[in-house]
């Protein structure tokens, strides 16, 4: 999915050569997306089918990845879990990108108090290490997947805004922007129609890397019990639910979803770095 | 060299004031009555209890006055009372702080030794060693710490039985033994960052003219690496180590929860789950102060290590 959209933006010459790890990572991500979309067709069991006689079973032909404490099939749960684990970071990124790119562009274009406000907000946000700002929002507004998505989205927005601002500042001084201005085009129209689209290459690469990070943050929140709640199926939550079994010697319930999270984040990082290298080259 | 110092300290105080105000006034951003949120329980609120909470937190006064009072009392070590434990928040934190600090210190040893070591190795031995380090750090940076924690417990705790899975241990050796897996899980992400920064800084220092001059002057490769390459790369490496260590305060939240350690990080998680707002505020305030102060200190130390950098301006 990612490689296709990213590749479409590249000149043909560059598109021809892709290193092997990037191909593998991209292929893996495509597989994960397919698995998430077709989970009902692929999953051998219903993800919430309890079978206490098969509690904490190891790998077997019946349960390829074993079962958890209530005998739920782990393969089916990981397939279904891919849905919320991929959709939630997507929603979070959409929110963060919308806010961040708007703030960054406005700050770069108009400067003045908007710019000052952005840098003050960023300073305060950066005073909270890691996920602590998100944790504060959750402490006040209560836990749940929606709160987590909005909170992480708000936390990422200033970072995206700062990056957009630096890109937009150098883009603004290019002659073609002056040309539009001379033609009498308004600032808002130049930004929306020309400036931001011209930044999209660099921004896309950045957002792909942030996607992996966002997935990791949301999984961590779910693991801590602040994100997706109990009946829903989410990788981070699955790790938390499977954790007690680890001490009893049943490793699969926690390791299967944990591996899924790590593998997807690794793949996103590899693809993201490659995409930003390629798309950043023209700058 | 000290020209920028007052400005830095003013900036530090301004950031701390703003962040503490955000932490304090967050209660008012919540929908509904702040007294309900502060009382902890969401049900069984009699009007008398609400009035008591209102009086305890002076909720009828203007926001700025309340904030000033809270800040003044916090500065004197009075962080209020926990609703969950019916205890002084300051005592709760003081009892748990040693575990958290030990964890961070131990993890720092891990990431400095392994991160700088692997970064130097990657910069010196190009080829497969370099690729292995870069690949390994990409992997390490992508594994969330709670997944690393579970994997470490599974392998070294349950399968091999080398390390204890629960508890905090007795005596220095016992504590060290118990904290090894948590510290490693906490250090993993930091290790990757430091390794990359070291590799990059070493490579840049290697490419500079004075290294070529030293080589032409007949210095041995070992002397060149230690006295000229590593010495010049030290600025960014030390800075990054400081920043990453400060960020670890937040990482303890996850790692302490994963390993069931009773530290400040796991206190924050249980405070949020039990709606214990005074404890939440106090722990957040403590972590933000720790983080901001350490990052500022790192900034101040940078010119001492690398005289080309001055406090007043940016890098030369």
Compute CA distances B197 → B114, B134, B233, B241, B243, whole Å.
13, 11, 9, 9, 12
State how far Cα A183 lies from the chain centre: 40
Q: Do A139 and B26 touch (CB under 8 A)?
A: yes
Residue pLDDT, tens place only, B160-214: 877 777 766 677 777 777 888 899 999 998 899 999 899 888 888 888 888 888 8
Q: Could you tell me the pLDDT band of residue B7, with boundaries at 50, 70 and 90?
A: confident
CB contacts under 8 A, A 103-122 vs B, are 120
pTM of the model: 0.85
Q: Residue B104: is its pLDDT beyond 90? A: yes
pLDDT of residue B6: 85
Distance of alpha carbon B165 from alpha carbon A245, whole angstroms: 12
Nearest to A255 among B29, B150, B269 (CB): B150
Query: Mean pLDDT for chain B?
Result: 83
Distance of alpha carbon B176 from alpha carbon B237, whole angstroms: 26
Contact A265, B142 (CB under 8 A): yes
pLDDT of residue B312: 55
CA B108 to chain A, closest CA, distance in angstroms equals 16
Mean pLDDT of B63-74: 84
Q: Which residue in chain A has the smallest CA separation from B155? A: A251
Q: Looking at beta carbons, which residues of chain A come within 8 Å of B137?
A: none
CB contacts under 8 A, A 1-40 vs B, are none
Q: Between A and B, how many CB-CB pairs are < 8 A? A: 129
Q: Which residue has the tokens 């131990």?
A: B106
Q: Do B280 and A136 touch (CB under 8 A)?
A: yes
pLDDT of residue B106: 92
Q: Looking at beta carbons, which residues of chain B come within 8 Å of A265?
A: 142-144
Distance of alpha carbon B147 from alpha carbon B153, whole angstroms: 10
Distance of alpha carbon B22 from alpha carbon B1, whole angstroms: 33
- Decide if A143 touches B, using CB distance below 8 A: yes
**B254: which 2 tokens?**
């996850």
Distance of alpha carbon A153 from alpha carbon A97, whole angstroms: 8
- Decide if A146 touches B, using CB distance below 8 A: no
Contact A272, A212 (CB under 8 A): yes
CA B150 to chain A, closest CA, distance in angstroms equals 7
Q: Do B291 and A124 touch (CB under 8 A)?
A: no
Mean pLDDT of B50-71: 79
b/e for A200-229, b at 16 or more Cβ within 10 A?
ebbbbbbbbbbbbbbbbbbbbbbbbbbbbe
Contact A104, A165 (CB under 8 A): yes
Distance of alpha carbon A30 from alpha carbon A86, whole angstroms: 12
Q: Looking at beta carbons, which residues of chain A come within 8 Å of B31?
A: 141
Q: Do A220 and B26 touch (CB under 8 A)?
A: no
The tens place of each residue's pLDDT in chain A, 283 residues long, gives 333 444 444 444 444 466 888 888 889 999 989 888 888 888 787 777 777 777 767 777 777 777 777 778 888 888 888 888 899 999 999 999 999 999 899 888 888 888 888 888 888 888 888 889 999 998 888 888 888 999 999 999 988 998 899 888 888 888 888 888 888 888 888 888 888 888 888 888 888 888 988 999 999 999 998 888 777 888 888 888 888 877 777 788 888 888 999 999 989 888 888 887 777 544 4
Q: Looking at beta carbons, which residues of chain B come within 8 Å of A130?
A: 247, 249-251, 253
**A148: which 2 tokens?**
């987590």
CA A174 to chain B, closest CA, distance in angstroms equals 26
Q: Which of the following CATH numbers is that of domain A23-39+66-280: 3.10.20.90, 3.30.428.10, 1.10.3720.10, 3.30.450.30?
A: 1.10.3720.10
Q: Looking at beta carbons, which residues of chain A come within 8 Å of B154?
A: 246, 251, 254-255
What kind and span of H or E run contains B246? helix B231-259
Q: Which residue in chain A has the smallest CA separation from B243? A: A129
Nearest to A266 among B138, B247, B271 (CB): B138
Query: What residues form DSSP beta bridges with B309?
Result: B315
Q: Which residue in chain A has the smallest CA separation from B296? A: A127
CA A244 to chain B, closest CA, distance in angstroms equals 10
**A155: which 2 tokens?**
């936390």
**B126: which 2 tokens?**
């190009």
* B176 or B42: which leads in pLDDT: B176
Q: Looking at beta carbons, which residues of chain A come within 8 Å of B273?
A: 225
Distance of alpha carbon A142 from alpha carbon B273, whole angstroms: 9
Mean pLDDT of B252-263: 89
Distance of alpha carbon A249 from alpha carbon B225, whole angstroms: 48
Q: Residue B272: is its pLDDT beyond 80? A: yes
The 10 Å Cβ neighbour count of residue A16 is 8
Contact B252, A135 (CB under 8 A): no
Q: Could you tell me the pLDDT band of residue B40, with boundaries at 50, 70 and 90?
A: low
Q: Domain extents for chain A?
A: 23-39+66-280
Contact A208, A272 (CB under 8 A): yes
Distance of alpha carbon B290 from alpha carbon B284, whole angstroms: 10
Q: What is the ipTM of this complex?
A: 0.84
């Amino acid at each position: 999915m990612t490689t296709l959209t990213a590749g479409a933006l590249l000149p043909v010459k560059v598109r021809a050569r892709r290193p092997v790890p990037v191909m593998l990572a991209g292929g893996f991500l495509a597989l994960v997306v397919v698995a998430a979309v077709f989970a009902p067709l692929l999953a051998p069991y219903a993800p919430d089918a309890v079978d206490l006689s098969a509690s904490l079973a190891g790998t077997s032909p019946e349960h390829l990845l074993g079962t958890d404490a209530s005998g739920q099939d782990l393969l089916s749960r990981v397939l279904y879990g891919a849905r919320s684990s991929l959709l939630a970071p997507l929603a979070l990124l959409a929110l963060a990108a919308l806010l961040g790119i708007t703030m960054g562009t406005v700050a770069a274009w108009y400067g003045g108090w908007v710019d000052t406000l952005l840098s003050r907000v960023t300073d305060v946000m950066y005073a909270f290490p890691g996920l602590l700002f998100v944790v504060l929002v959750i402490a006040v507004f209560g836990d749940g997947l929606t709160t987590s998505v909005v909170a992480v989205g708000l936390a990422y927005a200033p970072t995206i805004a700062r990056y957009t601002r630096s890109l937009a500042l150098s883009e603004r001084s290019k002659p073609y922007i002056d040309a539009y201005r001379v033609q009498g085009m308004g600032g808002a129209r130049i930004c929306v129609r020309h400036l931001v689209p011209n930044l999209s290459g660099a921004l896309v690469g950045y957002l792909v890397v942030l996607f992996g990070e966002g997935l990791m943050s949301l999984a961590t929140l779910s693991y801590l019990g602040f994100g997706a709640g109990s009946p829903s199926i989410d990788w981070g939550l699955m790790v938390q639910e499977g954790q007690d079994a680890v001490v009893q010697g049943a490793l699969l319930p926690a390791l299967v979803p944990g591996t899924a999270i790590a593998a997807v984040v690794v793949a996103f990082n590899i693809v993201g770095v490659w995409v930003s290298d390629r798309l950043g080259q023209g700058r | 060299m000290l020209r920028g110092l007052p400005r830095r300290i003013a900036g530090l105080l301004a950031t701390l004031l703003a962040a503490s105000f955000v932490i304090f006034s967050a209660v008012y951003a919540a929908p509904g009555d702040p007294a309900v949120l502060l009382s902890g329980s969401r049900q069984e609120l009699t009007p008398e209890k609400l009035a008591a909470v209102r009086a305890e937190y002076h909720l009828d006064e203007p926001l700025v006055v309340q904030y000033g009072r809270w800040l003044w009392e916090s500065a004197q070590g009075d962080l209020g009372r926990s609703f969950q434990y019916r205890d002084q928040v300051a005592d709760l934190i003081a009892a748990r702080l040693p575990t958290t600090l030990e964890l961070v210190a131990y993890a720092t040893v891990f990431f400095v030794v392994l991160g700088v070591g692997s970064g130097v190795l990657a910069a010196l031995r190009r080829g497969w060693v370099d690729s292995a380090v870069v690949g390994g750090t990409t992997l390490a940076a992508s594994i969330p710490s709670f997944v690393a924690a579970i994997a470490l417990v599974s392998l070294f705790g349950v399968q091999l039985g080398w390390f204890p899975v629960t508890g905090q241990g007795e005596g220095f050796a016992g504590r060290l033994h118990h904290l090894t897996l948590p510290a490693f899980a906490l250090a993993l992400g930091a290790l990757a960052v430091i390794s990359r920064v070291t590799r990059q800084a070493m490579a840049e220092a290697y490419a500079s003219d004075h290294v070529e001059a030293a080589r032409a002057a007949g210095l041995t490769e070992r002397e060149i690496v230690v006295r000229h390459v590593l010495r010049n790369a030290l600025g960014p490496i030390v800075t990054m180590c400081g920043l990453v260590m400060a960020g670890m305060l937040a990482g303890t939240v996850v790692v302490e929860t994963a390993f069931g350690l009773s530290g400040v990080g796991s206190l924050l998680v249980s405070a949020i789950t039990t709606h214990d707002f005074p404890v939440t505020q106090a722990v957040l305030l403590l972590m933000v102060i720790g983080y901001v102060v350490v990052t500022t200190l790192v900034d101040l130390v940078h010119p001492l290590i690398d005289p080309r950098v001055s406090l007043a301006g940016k890098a030369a």
